[in-house]
Structure 1
Amino acid sequence: MDLEVPGLTPRQREIAVLAAQGLTNREIAERLVVSVRTVANTLYAIYDKTGVNDRTALTALLNRPPA
């Protein structure tokens, strides 16, 4: 997966990759030792920054070839 999505912080990239791999918010929260709400809020910020609106689109964005 392309980790070089412009405008994302390292933590946002980490959560984006885990979400794109199919982990639930709860699984991501447990893995990163943060609250489920923190994961949800971070995903909202990721969607806003990248212009996507769901995990499927996020996965496609992360898997697209570099320009």
Structure 2
Amino acid sequence: MIQKEEYKQARDTVNEYEKQLDLSVVSGSTCWILRRTTDDLIFVTTDEDYAKRQYETGDYVIRKSKIFDPL
């Protein structure tokens, strides 16, 4: 079981990451959504070259999209 201090430390770490995650910086950017057909792993990238390399392996289905900040 997680101890109270460990929980506080983890929560502080998450808060710091959330502060760094400023979606307004990337809002409106083009992204690629990839789904691996073997195990349905889904991820998003803004790196077009990387997305194309993954797609060319034949293991992924790819969709082009835009990042949206709902706030």
TM > 0.5: no
- The answer to which structure, 1 or 2, has the higher relative contact order (CA under 8 A, 6+ apart) is 1
More helix by share: 1
What TM-score do you get using the length of structure 2 for normalisation?
A: 0.29
Larger Cα Rg: Structure 1 or Structure 2?
2
More strand by share: 2
What TM-score do you get using the length of structure 1 for normalisation?
A: 0.30
